[in-house]
A and B are shown apart, each in its own frame.
Chain A
């Protein structure tokens, strides 16, 4: 969004004001939410009262003193499963974002730097992928590859690289003609070296912001695929498939409400943080609408 930090107060353009953009309440709340879930994921075996797949309780119990979030249709403790679910969703979403950021960045850099027909081919491919609503194409890819969590990640990588490619390409197009890149080329640097040593450090920031913004989306689409039965397969404690199981026992609200809340907390945290990051670091690069 187009927020210029100093517009409201023309007398304080000091560094402290710029730095304070990092310390917005929303960003801090987002960071705390994410940190709490990350901590839960790391410490899961120590903080969870019961093993996530142990069927050691009466079935379909509402929340109570022993089972804080109730139990499911197999008598498993939902609180334990929700905490363990963080160990599935967080790393897979991270893997997804890193893979699509790397793929998109490399393709976008090649397209932007070399131009010509290479640029044409790569960017038309990006247009094509973007012509599909992402979850639909991902469904088709997973159905073709076979449903499991890793294939779901692959499928979403295939549908989500174009946004990185577009941002990186437009960055490269402006950076390529910068004097310091030109002079480095004149000193005999190869195009690969110019890309890596001169352009990469300047393009890295916006890509990181974009990846942060996309993290929440990655969690959403992965859990959505699992909800549809195309991602994590039972008995893995994954939030989307837990909501899906809960949907079959409609009147037992606790089965789907708590795993869904976990998804909401992660995505909201990532988006709060990503939004603040964007305001603080780069107001324009990540403006592309998703």
Chain B
């Protein structure tokens, strides 16, 4: 009976078209990763040295056994750990991440407030990194082992070697303090009103409401932090693009294209870059997660009111709930982005094994 069921399920599963099956499987992996991430976050909150009771109640109340027992019962601290985890998951699903020690507000509200700034910064930086990284990588592959390739190799290695927090400070010092090209830290000039909140992304909101003065101000403010944040990723994408271009250049169809007399520019753009691009898109998904990590350092220096700056302030105050909230949200964004990228990859490149 059970075996018949299993066979039926198997049959049904393989009756689904390959692409849909692939998407379903990736979705399942995404859900698994999200659950695992909460498990890690929960474990971390358990290993904290120091008693959450005395931290939350204060010394006077913590010495009264009745209050302590009531507190433990109220927050489920008297239950076994697996049950506490289930309670924790339930709270998460209801969007309850606890209260921040620092801001005295619910962590979820704080996150919603700070998220858009980080997304705007990261998307901007990712765009810069993709354009420059792919361009440099293509150049390096075309001039393989000649001087442009050597120069680009050194530049991209420098890009992945420079400490982001230091580069932020140096750029701010040079472009704001000395040259006066950058308007300084923050998302807008002091006192400037934020555009009407539609998406939370200042550039998009300003453009939608045709508020060009704010648009210009926001663009001037985001330019420098976005470029600094892009530096590491430019280096990484350049190196990866070069490698996948060289791999594609060795293929037979490229030799065929050259042999039938196509101009080199068309061979590179049409026959080499296209297959390489699919791989680059996948890598960019991973690079995006790393960029969210780098955003912590850039935002801390540029007083950019995003998740990273929030994480930084919470970390300094050892506000564990807030940090857990940030990690959960960033891990979730990362998992989501990679899910989308994987699916896109399968759609773009039909040769990929969907297994």
Complex contact A140–B296 (CB within 8 A): no
Bits for B143-173, please: 1 = Cβ < 8 Å to A, else 0.
0010000000110011011111111011011
Q: Which residues of B contact A228 (CB under 8 A)?
A: 296-297, 300, 312, 315-316
Least CB distance from A51 to B in Å reads: 25
Which of these binds chain A: B219-227, B254-262, B287-295, B346-354?
B287-295
Q: Which residues of A contact B246 (CB under 8 A)?
A: 1-3
Q: Which residues of B contact A133 (CB under 8 A)?
A: 289-290, 292-293, 330-331, 334
Q: Which residues of A contact B292 (CB under 8 A)?
A: 133, 136
Tally of B interface residues using CB under 8 Å = 65
Complex contact A251–B177 (CB within 8 A): yes
Complex contact B289–A271 (CB within 8 A): no
Instruction: Decide if B47 is an interface residue (CB 8 Å cutoff).
Output: yes
Instruction: Decide if B132 is an interface residue (CB 8 Å cutoff).
Output: no
Instruction: Decide if A186 is an interface residue (CB 8 Å cutoff).
Output: no
Query: From DSSP, what is the main secondary structure of chain B's interface residues?
Result: helix
Q: A26-B154, A223-B163, A263-B166 are in contact. Are A136 and B247 (CB under 8 A)?
A: no
Instruction: Decide if B270 is an interface residue (CB 8 Å cutoff).
Output: no
Measured CA separation A264–B164 after assembly (Å): 10
Instruction: Decide if A287 is an interface residue (CB 8 Å cutoff).
Output: yes
Measured CA separation A211–B49 after assembly (Å): 32
Bits for A16-44, please: 1 = Cβ < 8 Å to B, else 0.
00000000001000000000000000000
Bits for B23-59, please: 1 = Cβ < 8 Å to A, else 0.
0000000001100110111001101110000000000
Chain A: CB-nearest residue to B288 = A133
- Identify which of residues 221-257 in chain B touch chain A, using a CB-to-CB cut-off of 8 Å: 236, 239-240, 242-243, 246-247
Complex contact A1–B242 (CB within 8 A): yes
Instruction: Decide if B318 is an interface residue (CB 8 Å cutoff).
Output: yes
Complex contact B163–A224 (CB within 8 A): yes
Which of these binds chain A: B76-84, B123-131, B207-215, B321-329?
B321-329
Q: Which residues of A contact B301 (CB under 8 A)?
A: 247
Q: Which residues of A contact B48 (CB under 8 A)?
A: 144
Q: A271-B161, A275-B157, A289-B283 are in contact. Are A260 and B296 (CB under 8 A)?
A: no
Instruction: Decide if B206 is an interface residue (CB 8 Å cutoff).
Output: no
Query: From DSSP, what is the main secondary structure of chain A's interface residues?
Result: helix
A135: which of B153, B296, B316, B324 is its contact (CB, 8 Å)?
B296
B327: which of A140, A240, A243 is its contact (CB, 8 Å)?
A140
Bits for A264-283, please: 1 = Cβ < 8 Å to B, else 0.
10011011100100000000
Q: A143-B315, A144-B48, A247-B169 are in contact. Are A136 and B330 (CB under 8 A)?
A: yes
Chain A: CB-nearest residue to B286 = A289
Complex contact A141–B44 (CB within 8 A): yes
A227: which of B39, B170, B297, B330 is its contact (CB, 8 Å)?
B297
Complex contact A256–B243 (CB within 8 A): no
Which of these binds chain B: A56-64, A123-131, A170-178, A199-207?
A123-131
Q: Which residues of B contact A3 (CB under 8 A)?
A: 145, 246
Q: Which residues of B contact A135 (CB under 8 A)?
A: 293-294, 296-297
Measured CA separation A137–B45 after assembly (Å): 13
Least CB distance from B246 to A in Å reads: 5
Complex contact B40–A128 (CB within 8 A): yes
A250: which of B37, B177, B334 is its contact (CB, 8 Å)?
B177
Measured CA separation A290–B291 after assembly (Å): 11
Complex contact A264–B297 (CB within 8 A): no
Q: Which residues of B contact A271 (CB under 8 A)?
A: 157, 160-161
- New contact pairs (13) apart from A260-B170, A289-B236, CB-CB < 8 Å: A1-B239, A1-B246, A124-B32, A127-B36, A131-B331, A132-B330, A141-B44, A143-B323, A243-B163, A247-B169, A250-B172, A253-B173, A272-B157
**5 A–B contacts from the bound complex (CB under 8 Å):** A128-B37, A132-B334, A224-B163, A243-B165, A275-B153
8 A-B pairs with least C-beta separation? A133-B293, A260-B166, A267-B161, A128-B36, A135-B293, A268-B161, A144-B44, A1-B243
